[in-house]
Amino acid sequence: MSHVAYVNGRYLPQKQASVHIEDRGYQFADAVYEVTCIWNGLPVDHAAHMRRLRRSLSELRIAMPCSEAALTAITREVVRRNRVTRGTVYLQVGRGVAVRNHSFPAKPVKPSLVIVAKHGAGPTESVAQAGVKVLAQPDIRWGRVDIKSIGLLPNALAKQAAVEAKAFEALFVTPSGTVTEASASNAWIVTKDKALVTHPLSTEILGGVTRDTVLRLAKAAGYEIQERPFSLAEALAAKEMFLTGTTTFVMPVVRVNERPIANGSPGSVSLDLRQRYIAYVNALDERAWAVDAPR
């Protein structure tokens, strides 16, 4: 079956899909994106992804390419045409096509829109039950990682270093020793008192949609939450550590570099939150496509 992409008004086989060579996303990374998990044919936290997309576009002064209702309809059609039941849908909006110049086009151009979908929604359950290794890497990203820009070269370099070290993810650490997040997920620790700690929202991290959902689920379950910075040293001494992300859900971390976290096995809190999150996505229904869902 040929994969189908949506590119600027047309549904095309991916092999035939292309963008203009002077698209500013291609030349300047002047674009933002969202990746939404498709679970049992339904989007996970679609409304939250739309809110974050609006915010990212606003921060870069890029117009929405169309209404949210139209964007949702196009996304549903891409999912349908690719027959994705469990996978992801990738949406990218850029400033558009203009003669190459660092400054914005003098006259506004039509934003570009690309949407693709693929099968497969992250690692298997056996990976989560075993836990994963992460590799600490220096955080060399730009100062506005709260914007979900496509400028991801530092993330890609860090993730490649992790792959070469046979690690699941790269953990970003600032020069002062603070853990910000991972290359494609948010980082958490569990203290010896079973409090959940994750970096607060700021320009230093991307406000993860899954992070927000796990926060709500954890609060509802009665866990203590501390949104504050934590150091790599604190992480190494923690009772547990885990990641949250669109396709990783809640992923226990059992090793940082070559150092085990606690006894080197997934902790009860991480596994409990993972099961709560899986129950949450399994309970989705057609209302998941609404763009006005409550926070």
**Which residues are known catalytic residues?**
148
Say if residue 186 is exposed, middle or buried (CB neighbours under 10 Å; 0-12, 13-18, 19+): buried
Sheet holding 87-94, edge to edge: 10-13, 4-7, 112-119, 87-94, 31-39, 42-43
User: What is d(CA 216, CA 228) in angstroms, rounded to the nearest whole number?
Assistant: 17
User: Phi/psi class of residue 61: alpha, beta or left (left: φ > 0; alpha: ψ in -120 to 50)?
Assistant: left
3-class secondary structure for the chain? CCCEEEECCEEEEHHHCCCCCCEHHHHHCCEEEEEEEEECCEECCHHHHHHHHHHHHHHHCCCCCCCHHHHHHHHHHHHHHCCCCCEEEEEEEECCECCCCCCCCCCCCCCEEEEEEEECCCCCHHHHHHCEEEEEEECCCCCCCCCCECCCHHHHHHHHHHHHCCCCEEEEECCCCEEEEECCCEEEEECCCCCEEECCCCCCCCCCHHHHHHHHHHHHCCCCEEECCEEHHHHHCCCEEEEEECCCEEEEEEEECCEECCCCCCCHHHHHHHHHHHHHHHCCCHHHHCCCCCC
